[in-house]
């Protein structure tokens, strides 16, 4: 005889699992979306010969590096629009990208797009897992979230350019999110930094949050990528790490371009001059210190995902150049906000989510700036329009400060033994 579970028992509290058919359908749909986008990308490139300029620059650089030492930073890909794109990553990245140079362009575009969308799916799943979504619902919610974020400009721009950012995002999240702690923690950050230097900010995050072993592992991994680069292409490595990495002119001709959504770009647009080095340096130091302190505060409040997002946003703000597609970090931020709004029924949060999503989709209009001749000079409301990502990120950091202050005040009022989330309920379970 089997006893039915009583009210309040573990069984009665377990949410009903998603039907197997629905889970299989969600998985099949995700695979179909990946295949459809990859095929469409390959066909568009084959018929037009346009777009995927960054991927073409990767392939050009990798082919040059394969031909011999000293070639990597001497070549550039010239697109149909006349813009030349050189290779701006460490030699280690060129080594890993060599297989792309050995296959036809259309095949490379298709495979890269498929891998990028797969990385996007993985990022969404990691985020949902960190927010505590039940395993039975995770597959369907992953599908819905992926379909929701695909139209935002950081994602569409990333896929259209053939960028590497989604892979770096996945590697960093896998290293830092709750439940991923292991002896190998930090390896993902180290390798990601070896491909592109910007993830190095997370080494500081690990240090300041007391994860010394992971920080050391990340630095050892990063230094190993440098060593591999020097062993493979010593001349190219010496040029890059000897000062070439500081040459922002190889990244952008003018920091005022609307697609550069960093503090440096915002300041250049506000002052209408590309020469903002000293103003940017002072501002960047202040924002970096405040942003990192805020990220550490979040981590100590046991909200690891928000802490990682605060650190990422800070890094994007203080970087000399942060292209629109670098802001793929909006993906986990949107998923996090959506899940907490759903769970706690926050109407204001839902409105905020909708507004941010609309802004990120509408910013696609920035692609018209250069052809329209209004890419560099802005006045009035144009300064708001041209700095949307910077303004939203700064606003997010300010709101996060208020959120944590209210949480601490509420916790103090309830006493030391009362462990609760923020007063508005926006909180993840503490990591193990």
Per-residue pLDDT tens digits for 9-22? 333 344 544 567 77
At CA 58, angle to CA 220 and CA 368, rounded to 5?
Answer: 120
Q: How many residues does the chain have?
A: 432
Rounded to 5 degrees, what are φ and ψ at 86? Answer: -95, 170
- Per-residue pLDDT, 118: 97
Residue 165: Cβ within 10 Å count: 23
Rg (CA), the chain: 23
- CA–CA distance, 341 with 279 (Å, rounded to integer): 38
Per-residue pLDDT tens digits for 87-106? 999 999 999 999 999 999 99
- Per-residue pLDDT, 183: 78
- Which residues partner with 76 through β-bridges? 86
- CA–CA distance, 60 with 173 (Å, rounded to integer): 29
Closest by CA to 174, choosing from 310, 49, 304, is 304
Q: Which own/partner contact pairs does 21-24 have at CB distance under 8 Å and 24+ positions apart?
A: 22/139, 22/140, 23/136, 23/139, 23/140
**With left for phi above 0 and alpha for psi between -120 and 50, is residue 229 left, alpha or beta?**
alpha
Closest by CA to 234, choosing from 75, 74, 72, is 72
- CA–CA distance, 7 with 64 (Å, rounded to integer): 68
At CA 412, angle to CA 408 and CA 418, rounded to 5?
Answer: 100
Burial 282-299 (b: 16+ CB within 10 A, else e): ebbeebbeebbebbbbbb
Residue 251: Cβ within 10 Å count: 15
First to last CA, the chain: 38
- Per-residue pLDDT, 173: 95
- CA–CA distance, 218 with 192 (Å, rounded to integer): 9
- CA–CA distance, 64 with 59 (Å, rounded to integer): 9
Where do the domains of the chain lie?
23-414
Rounded to the nearest 10°, the torsion over CA 91, 292, 403, 146 is 0
Closest by CA to 119, choosing from 155, 90, 87, is 155
In which element (H, E) is residue 362 found?
Answer: helix 347-362
Q: 3-state DSSP helix/strand/coil percent for the chain, to nearest 5?
A: 70, 0, 25
- CA–CA distance, 120 with 166 (Å, rounded to integer): 6
- Per-residue pLDDT, 303: 86
Residue carrying structure tokens 């974020």: 149
Task: Classify the C-alpha dihedral 356-358-364-365 as positive or negative.
Answer: negative
- Per-residue pLDDT, 181: 59
- Which residues partner with 104 through β-bridges? none
What is the full per-residue pLDDT of the chain (432 aa) written as tens digits? 444 444 443 333 445 445 677 778 888 999 999 999 999 999 999 998 888 999 999 999 999 999 999 999 999 998 877 788 999 999 999 999 999 999 999 999 999 999 999 999 999 999 999 998 888 888 999 999 999 999 999 999 999 999 999 999 999 999 998 665 577 889 999 999 999 999 999 999 999 999 999 999 999 999 999 999 999 999 999 999 999 988 888 888 789 999 999 999 999 999 999 999 999 999 999 999 999 999 999 998 878 999 999 999 999 999 999 999 999 999 999 999 999 998 888 889 999 999 999 999 999 999 988 767 788 899 999 999 999 999 999 999 999 999 888 887 777 776 555 444 554 444 444 333
Burial 66-91 (b: 16+ CB within 10 A, else e): beeeebbbebbbebeeeeebbbbbbb
């Amino acid at each position: 005889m089997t006893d039915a579970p009583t009210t309040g028992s573990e069984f009665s509290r377990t949410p009903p699992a998603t039907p197997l058919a629905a889970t299989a359908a969600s998985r099949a749909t995700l695979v179909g979306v990946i295949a459809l986008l990859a095929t469409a990308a390959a066909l568009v490139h084959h018929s037009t010969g346009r777009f995927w300029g960054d991927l073409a620059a990767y392939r050009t650089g990798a082919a040059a590096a394969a031909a011999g030492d000293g070639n990597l930073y001497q070549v550039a890909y010239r697109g149909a629009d006349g813009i030349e794109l050189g290779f701006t990553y460490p030699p280690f990245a060129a080594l890993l990208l060599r297989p792309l140079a050995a296959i036809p362009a259309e095949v490379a575009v298709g495979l890269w797009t498929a891998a990028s969308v797969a990385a996007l799916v993985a990022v969404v799943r990691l985020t949902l897992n960190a927010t505590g979504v039940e395993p039975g619902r995770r597959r369907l919610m992953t599908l819905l979230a992926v379909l929701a974020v695909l139209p935002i400009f950081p994602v569409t721009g990333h896929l259209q350019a053939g960028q590497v950012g989604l892979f770096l995002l996945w590697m960093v999240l896998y290293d830092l999110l709750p439940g991923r702690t292991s002896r190998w923690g930090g390896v993902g950050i180290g390798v990601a930094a070896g491909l592109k230097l910007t993830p190095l900010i997370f080494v500081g995050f690990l240090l300041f949050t007391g994860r010394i072993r992971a920080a050391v592992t990340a630095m050892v991994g990063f230094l190993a990528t440098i060593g591999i680069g020097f062993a493979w292409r010593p001349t190219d490595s010496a040029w890059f790490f000897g000062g070439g990495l500081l040459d922002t002119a190889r990244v952008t001709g003018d920091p005022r371009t609307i697609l550069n959504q960093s503090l440096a770009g915002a300041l250049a647009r506000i002052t209408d001059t590309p020469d903002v080095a000293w103003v940017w340096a002072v501002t960047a130091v202040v924002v970096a210190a405040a942003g990192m302190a805020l990220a550490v505060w979040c981590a100590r409040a046991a909200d690891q995902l928000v802490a990682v997002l605060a650190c990422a946003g800070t890094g994007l703000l203080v970087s000399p150049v942060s292209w629109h597609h670098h802001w793929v970090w909006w993906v986990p931020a949107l998923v996090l906000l959506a899940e907490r709004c759903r769970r706690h029924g926050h109407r204001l949060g839902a409105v905020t989510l909708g507004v941010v999503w609309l802004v990120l989709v509408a910013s696609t209009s920035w692609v018209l700036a250069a052809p329209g001749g209004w890419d560099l000079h802005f006045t009035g409301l144009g300064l708001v329009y041209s700095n949307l990502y910077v303004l939203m990120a700064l606003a997010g950091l300010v709101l996060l400060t208020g959120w944590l202050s209210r949480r601490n005040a509420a916790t103090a009022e309830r006493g030391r033994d009362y462990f609760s989330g923020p007063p508005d309920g926006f909180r993840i379970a503490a990591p193990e």
